[in-house]
């Protein structure tokens, strides 16, 4: 059953200058929602939202949500998307990652409760760890190593889900949890360590694409516009979640690398490197809950999404070359 949309006039987006957060801000403004974008620029960048700065409904505030969160005036929706999200980032900033998942979630939940706002937590497919159930339904509890190198991110998100649920059950706060699967698209950082920006950057530079292990491990990739539509469908519903948002289009890392070589027209080859510790072998969302409760499913074919992403990275590379003279 798809529930009627609620009225949202003003939203707070934490991590709004990040890759996914900036797209959320953009889509909200397109829906005539005022946006207060909070970011400490640890992994986000003002460049991601510079095109929104002249919009009368947009406000960018430098803020670390692990310290405090204060937003004057009414708020209808709080989207907590602040967190390092790539392995390179959370391995480099393990304590910051744990703090934004714990203290940041606590402070943003407090803001939503104070304002009587709807709250959406950006959780992740990583709560399923290296899954023993495939594809992963929301009922699956996961297979996570809390003391492994990925544990800081996985457990931060699992804790934030528990905190969000506690606010809902004990304080009556209107909360929802979205579990986001691998998302890609324009504004990803080329050096963030995730497969798609790494492969595209290597292909455009004519370097070998570094595939971990034998490349048989799988991911399900979802274009950013589809992910944002799913998040906002949940935000505008009365569903608490958790709800998986991702594309069931599962492919191996080797196939992804080969596809990107084809799309870039690169002469790059493949170079195999060691598999990271606790790297999930498979990853594919069971999206039936999103389809049944929110009427959402991804619509951008992976080839089209990758084509758009490759084009964006190529434009950025050309612009950087021009600036360098």
> Per the structure block, which two tokens stand in for 305?
């999404």
Question: DSSP characters for 224-237?
Answer: HHHHHHHHHHHHTS
CB 325 within 8 A of CB 319: no
Q: For this structure, is 167 an active site residue?
A: no
3 state DSSP class of 191: coil
| HEC secondary structure over 100-167 | HHHHHHHHHHHHHHHHCCEEEEEEEHHHHECCCCCCECCCCCCECCCCCCCHHHHHHHHHHHHHHHHH
H or E element, residue 302: helix 302-323
Among candidate residues 120, 173, 103, 110, the one with its CA nearest the CA of residue 11: 120
Please compute Rg for the chain using Cα positions. 19
Q: Which one from 153, 167, 184, 223 is the annotated catalytic residue?
A: 153
Give the DSSP letter of residue 170: I
Q: Please tell me the distance from the alpha carbon of residue 159 to that of residue 100, in angstroms, as a whole number.
A: 11
Beta partners for residue 120, in sequence order: 79, 176
* Angle of helix 224-235 versus helix 19-30 axis, rounded to 10: 60
3 state DSSP class of 319: helix
Residues serving a catalytic function are 153
């Amino acid at each position: 059953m798809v529930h009627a949309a609620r009225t949202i006039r003003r939203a707070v987006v934490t991590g709004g200058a990040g890759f996914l957060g900036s797209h959320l801000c953009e889509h909200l403004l397109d829906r005539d929602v005022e946006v207060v974008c909070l970011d400490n620029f640890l992994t986000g960048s003002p460049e991601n939202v510079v095109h929104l700065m002249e919009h009368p409904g947009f406000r960018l505030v430098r803020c670390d949500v692990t310290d405090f969160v204060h937003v004057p005036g009414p708020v209808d929706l709080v989207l907590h998307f602040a967190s390092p999200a790539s392995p390179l980032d959370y391995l480099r900033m393990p304590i910051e990652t744990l703090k934004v998942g714990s203290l940041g979630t606590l402070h943003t939940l407090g803001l939503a409760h104070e304002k009587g706002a709807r709250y959406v937590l950006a959780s992740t497919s990583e709560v399923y760890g290296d899954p023993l159930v495939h594809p992963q339904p929301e009922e699956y509890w996961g297979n996570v190593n809390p003391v492994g190198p990925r544990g800081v991110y996985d457990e931060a998100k699992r804790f934030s889900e528990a905190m969000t649920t506690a606010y809902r059950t004990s304080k009556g706060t209107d909360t929802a949890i979205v579990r986001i699967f691998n998302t890609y698209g324009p504004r990803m950082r080329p050096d963030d360590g995730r497969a798609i920006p790494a492969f595209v950057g290597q292909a455009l530079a004519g370097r070998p694409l570094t595939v971990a292990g034998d490349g048989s491990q799988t991911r399900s990739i979802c274009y950013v516009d589809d992910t944002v539509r799913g998040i906002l469908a949940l935000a505008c519903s009365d569903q608490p979640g958790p709800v998986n948002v991702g594309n069931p289009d599962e492919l191996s890392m080797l196939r992804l690398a080969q596809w990107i070589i084809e799309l870039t027209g690169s002469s790059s080859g493949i170079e195999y490197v060691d598999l990271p510790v606790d790297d999930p072998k498979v990853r594919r969302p069971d999206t039936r809950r999103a389809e049944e409760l929110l009427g959402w499913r991804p619509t951008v074919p992976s080839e089209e999404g990758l084509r758009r992403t490759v084009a964006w990275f190529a434009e950025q590379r050309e612009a950087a070359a021009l600036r360098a003279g």
